[in-house]
Amino acid sequence: MKNLRPETINVLKRVETLSGCPVEFKPDSSLTLRATLKMARNGAPSHVLQYRPTNDPLDYWVTYQAGFAMRLFDLPPNERFNFVGTGVGADQVHALLATGQPLDDSDQGMLAEFAQMVLHWALLNLRSYAIGMRIDQWIADEHPHLRELQASGMDILQQENLQLLSRRFGNLSIPVPLLAPVAASALFADRLLGKSIYAIPYRAAGVIESGAELLEKFDTVPRDGRHDRELVDAWAASMGMTDWYRWSTYEL
């Protein structure tokens, strides 16, 4: 991958050193994200960093994705875990969707499919926002050369998240309680970037207090990677998602 800054290359080299696996670059124009890192496991020979080809600098997005790998591989092998859905949450999501909004026959027909989509989305957000906010704080603290790119990247993400408040599948929409990690992310972005705009829509949506509760837990749990599972578990307990996932041993 061309045109990455030396500091970004050094972060990727750190991932390679910690994990013992090289990072392979793979362009993918179909990605919705700017970059994503698929970590090696089950005998895979390398980590795969997929990125959407663009003329814009990708250093922030690559460093952000590498941060997940660094937090994992900084831990001893016996403390590395995968986040795995159990499928248990489907009924709870189904109940949330069926409560408080009128559903016609068409909506009822789409309910099961949409519930599975929301379940997958909620689990992804639970882990990615909790740990991702740790990574953004690390970037802000230790990589000031990325400050402008980080501010731009976080702004892009917050603008994209706003679409979740109006997204519809027929008359179905994402249940408000499951928007708490997104609201926590907005509060965090406001704080980190010195703004006061990102959280406003979530106040109107009635989810800001739940987001603030998650941010408080984020501030209370120690920052180092040994406590990432503790942070995710604390968020899950707050949202009633504890039995929706499990931790399994990570193996290269």
- Give pLDDT tens digits for 207-226: 999 999 999 999 999 999 99
Q: Is the pLDDT of residue 129 over 70?
A: yes
Q: Is the pLDDT of residue 49 over 90?
A: yes
Which residues neighbour 145 within 8 Å (Cβ) at sequence distance 6 or greater? 5, 7
Which residues neighbour 127 within 8 Å (Cβ) at sequence distance 6 or greater? 83, 232
CA 138 to chain centre: 15
| CATH 3.30.160 assigned to 6-74 | yes
Written as one string, the DSSP assignment of 21-33 is -PEEEEE-TT-SS
The two three-digit tokens of residue 213, written as one number: 């509760």
H or E element at residue 60: helix 59-73
* 173, burial (CB in 10 Å: exposed 0-12, middle 13-18, buried 19+): middle
Q: Is the pLDDT of residue 119 over 80?
A: yes
Which residues neighbour 19 within 8 Å (Cβ) at sequence distance 6 or greater? 39, 40, 47, 69, 73, 252
Let me know: does 59 contact 4? Beta carbons within 8 Å.
yes
The upper half-sphere exposure of residue 158, i.e. CA atoms within 13 Å in the direction of its Cβ, equals 25
Q: Is the pLDDT of residue 108 over 90?
A: no
- Tokens 């837990």, residue located: 217
Q: Is the pLDDT of residue 100 over 70?
A: no
Let me know: does 134 contact 219? Beta carbons within 8 Å.
no
Let me know: does 35 contact 6? Beta carbons within 8 Å.
no
Residue-level pLDDT at 239:
96
- Work out the mean pLDDT of the chain and round it to a whole number: 93
For the chain, give every domain's residue range: 6-74, 81-249
